[in-house]
Amino acid sequence: NMKPVQVKLVLLGEAAVGKSSLVLRFVNNEFQENKEPTIGAAFLTQKCRLEDKSIKFEIWDTAGQERFHSLAPMYYRNAQAAVVVYDVTKASSLEKAKSWVKELQRQANPNIVIALTGNKVDLVQEEGSSESRGEGSDNEQEQEDEDEDDDEDNYRISRQVPTEEARAYADEAGLLFFETSAKNGKGVAEVFLEIAKKIPLE
Ligand code: GDP
Ligand code: MG
């Protein structure tokens, strides 16, 4: 059965956490350094093939600004999936993400699949500085938060949301959890793939 299942997906989160950039990475595999803010909402589609089904995401990318908050229910009502985004370098953006999750759990479709996504990990991970030192990609070893201050040559923005803190919240709230970089693409496809896997077949 090759007819794609249509899945309405909404992106929510504070302004400038990278919602539009995640969509641009997923749909066009592109990144723009100075992405202009979204006004109202933007609509894009992208197909996703799984082994046993084909999915067409209908993506509503909302504006994060408070003045657009009242429009959000139009986009999450009837949505089967939501990606709630925060910025790992900005603790207050996780608080905003949590308030979106609460609103979804109160007011959206009770079966909605919600993915919490900590974006901009390129700003805080060892990989970034390895690249700038010209090293190859041999070093795949995961580095954790404690080595953030071991490299004085590179200006680095520090992580404000520890991975395990966000993951613990996501587990408790029943959310999928990811960390991503729209800039280098890390983890982005996985967000949509894991959501696709959780959408029931019609
Ligand atoms: P939105 O308001 O949530 O849609 O955020 P945008 O996608 O417009 O991104 C806001 C700013 O953050 C832009 O300047 C982007 O280039 C930048 N940005 C988005 N994602 C990333 C990322 O993963 N890493 C870095 N370093 N910058 C990002
Ligand atoms: Mg945007």
DSSP-based three-state secondary structure for 6: strand
- Any idea what DSSP says for residue 65? S
CA of 23 to the centre of ligand 2 (A): 9
Residue of 123, 115, 128, 34 lying closest to 81 (CA atoms): 115
What pLDDT score was predicted for residue 178? 98
Is 202 exposed, middle or buried, given 0-12, 13-18 or 19+ CB atoms closer than 10 A? exposed
Question: Using a 6 Å cutoff on CB, does residue 182 contact ligand 1?
Answer: yes
Residue-by-residue pLDDT tens, the chain, 202 positions: 578 999 999 999 999 999 999 999 999 999 999 888 888 889 999 999 988 889 999 999 999 888 888 899 999 999 999 999 999 999 999 999 999 999 999 999 999 999 999 999 999 976 545 444 444 444 445 454 445 455 455 566 899 999 999 999 999 999 999 999 999 999 999 999 999 999 876 6
Tokens, residue 61: 């990318």
What pLDDT score was predicted for residue 126? 62
Question: Using a 6 Å cutoff on CB, does residue 25 contact ligand 1?
Answer: no
Q: How far apart are CA 99 and CA 61, in angstroms?
A: 18
Question: Using a 6 Å cutoff on CB, does residue 183 contact ligand 1?
Answer: yes
Q: How far apart are CA 125 and CA 106, in angstroms?
A: 35
CA of 22 to the centre of ligand 2 (A): 9
What pLDDT score was predicted for residue 133? 41
Paired strand residues for 176: 115
Tell me which residue has its CA closest to atom 25 in ligand 1.
Answer: 120
DSSP-based three-state secondary structure for 33: coil
CA of 71 to the centre of ligand 2 (A): 14
Question: Which phi and psi angles does 152 have, rounded to 5°?
Answer: -80, -10
User: End-to-end distance of the chain based on CA atoms, in angstroms?
Assistant: 11
What pLDDT score was predicted for residue 59? 97
What pLDDT score was predicted for residue 65? 81
CA of 15 to the centre of ligand 1 (A): 9
- Residue keyed to tokens 């999928």: 176
Question: Using a 6 Å cutoff on CB, does residue 197 contact ligand 1?
Answer: no
CA of 39 to the centre of ligand 2 (A): 8
Q: Whole-model pTM?
A: 0.86
Residues contacting 72, CB < 8 A, separation 6+ = 10, 12, 62, 103
Question: Using a 6 Å cutoff on CB, does residue 30 contact ligand 1?
Answer: no
Atom of ligand 1 nearest to the CA of 184: 23
ipTM of the complex: 0.99
